[in-house]
Amino acid sequence: MEWWHYTLHPEPTPDTLYDVPVTAPDGTDRESEIQRLVQPYDGDVPGVSLLVLKDGKAVLSRGYGRSDLTRGTEAGPATDYRLASVTKQFTAAAILLLAQDGKLSIDDPVRRWLPSLPQVADGITLHNLLDHTSGVLNYEDLMPEPYAGQISDAGVLALLEKENRLYFPPGSKYRYSNSGYALLALVAERASGMSFADYVRTRIFQPLGMRNTLAYVAGGPQVPHRAWGYSKSCDGWTRTDQNAYSAVLGDGGIYSNIADMARWDAALYDDRLLGDASRALAFGHQAQVSDTPEATYYGFGWRVAGDRLWHSGESIGFRNTIVRWPKQHLTVVVLSNRNDPTPYDLAVSIGRLFMEGTQ
């Protein structure tokens, strides 16, 4: 910052020099650019909660727009959103914790835990489910239309029990699979002796102080400060909060807010939850997803490319992203209660504003 020195007269202390800045403080351009980027979410529209963590501190934590259009409730740091597939990093962590505790091995055959699966699943391991190389069929494609009510993780298993076929031999290819993560939630239940919702609450959320995060089950604890999902329509915005897939927990059923996601991010830098070996697996190059425009891999619940880790989540009425640059000790979380746009590009653009060497 540039400084000029002025001597002011008349003055009781004429020898005193005053430092007066002649350039705007750092951050002004950044703040105006953030405001421009989030402008579509601002006002009386479905909103967004935005978190930027730098060197372990929240340098930006606020909401824009509305979490509930009917009541006019403003979005904020405490607003809870359905994470959709951002849930997968918690499901993967549950399995890794059970492995740390000696309750299972990630190399276990899935049929050790879910023996009702057909014989074609003999070659599938938990590792294959974690990195999407299992070849299991998409449960969404197996559901009758229209589907009465909502399918659960156990319902996913029931559909797969009837299908003695896979997309490809286990371990031979990558194909993103919601079915695989629904099965992992059931494995976590069998190995822990607890419901998935109870296990992630007692083993992950409570130890980390994530008091407003939960795997939501109808009839169970309510989601605090709940954001309702919306979709754009010709008349404005229509509430589209749930569909037939929304009760599946392992692939997308966790609700959280940016305040709790800050606690989650902090735990990913040390061994307060996952040990070094478990974090190396979660963030490792387990399966190659693509080689263009850059080499991209899937770990366990995380996408990996270059110096960043991320995962997005999309379900009816919600679009979310977490992007981490561990070497920069920088994380951006964007949670929104609308069907459009996907906020990955927004998160990356905001992250670049806080990169070392930039203003």
Q: Are 67 and 75 in contact (CB under 8 A)?
A: yes
User: Residue 136 has which token pair?
Assistant: 């299991």
Residue 336: strand pairing partners: 48, 319
The helix-helix angle for 28-38 and 344-353 (nearest 10°) equals 170
When computed from its CA atoms, the radius of gyration of the chain, rounded to whole angstroms, is 23
CA distance 227 to 71: 11
Q: Which of 49, 61, 67, 85 is catalytic?
A: 85
From 329, 332, 336, select the one nearest 349 (Cα to Cα): 332
Identify the three-state secondary structure at position 205: helix
Neighbours of 267 (CB within 10 A): 18
Instruction: Find out whether the peptide bond into 146 is cis, omega within 30 degrees of 0.
Output: yes
Is 85 considered catalytic here?
yes
Rounded CA-CA distance 201/144 in Å is 32
The residues annotated as belonging to the active site are 85
